Chain A
Amino acid sequence: MELFGLFISLALVNNVVLNRFLAVCPLLGVSKNSKNALNMGYAVTFVIFIASIITYLLYHQVLKPLKITYMDLITFILVIASLVQFVEMFLKKTSPEIYKAMGVYLPLITTNCAVLGVALDNISSKYNFVEAMVAGLAVPIGFTLVIYIFATIRERLEIADVPAAFKGAPIALITAGIMAFAMAGIAGIV
């Protein structure tokens, strides 16, 4: 039950994008089309989940015993960059269309601050291994949810009669702001 609470709190209440404003770059960049947005969500979920497991183990089994915990940032970035590279090779092989559609945003997962954010949060919040795994799943699922909803709204806005001054990016940013309001509302319920 506690784990479920943690999951809900990380996925919805403290949503990475709309509450902590991490990973805003892919949110705006890959949300023109809901299919690509979902694919981005899957890629990020994979990277964050595996990265949070590996970085957690590395921190507690390698860095801590050797008393070199100050190396955490650079080690984590190394792990994340390798994972993203792997996802890139995998997608290029298995589905070139997705690879092309995601373009530069795929390698940019490396610098997606949500990935490093989860890895560092797992350490600083003193999670145990299971909690770290739950966090590694909840955060990117929250991200996927938001980016998918956002993309579907943007698809509709595309055909809506938006005032000329708000067309394109401005209305997208306003939408994101209103979604953040809605998310803050959930915090009141839970």
Chain B
Amino acid sequence: MIQAVLSLAIIGGILGAILGISDMYLKVENDPRVDQVMGMLPNANCGGCGFPGCAGFASALVEGEVSKVGTCVVCSADKKTEIAEYLNSTPGPDGTTVKVTA
């Protein structure tokens, strides 16, 4: 029993370490707005917006693929305006803002 637990822990640790190291080398610079928008979305990951989860929806908003926060069916009205105001007022790394409506 103890062997099983220990060996699994060690294997998991090694694999985790490899992933952690490769993450350092394979890091992708993300648009910080995506994370911000993610924080404001309900994070229900229900897929109701038609994107694979809230992360997909957040990047679609930031990249201008959708221009209506209301595409998220779960989001409350307050949060929708909050997200819209945030995106309309915060420029991305290239200095432009995206126009979205609540």
Taking beta carbons and an 8 Å cutoff, which residues of A are in contact with B?
58, 62-63, 66-68, 70-71, 74-75, 78-79, 82, 85-86, 89-90, 92-93, 96, 103-104
Contact = CB atoms under 8 A, between A and B. Distances in A.
A75 B8 contact: yes
Given A92-B26, A93-B28, A85 B19 contact: yes
Nearest to B56: A103
Interface in B52-73: 52, 56
Please classify how large the interface on chain B is, using the bins under 10, 10 to 19, 20 to 34, 35 or more: 10 to 19
Interface stretch (B10-18, B31-39, B76-84, B87-95): B10-18
B11 A90 contact: no
Interface of B: 3-4, 7-8, 11-12, 15-16, 18-19, 22-23, 26-28, 52, 56
Given A66-B7, A68-B3, A103-B52, A86 B19 contact: yes
A71 B7 contact: yes
Contacts of A85: 19
The interface residues of chain B, by DSSP majority, are classed as: helix
A64 to B, nearest CB: 11
A82 B26 contact: no
B79 to A, nearest CB: 25
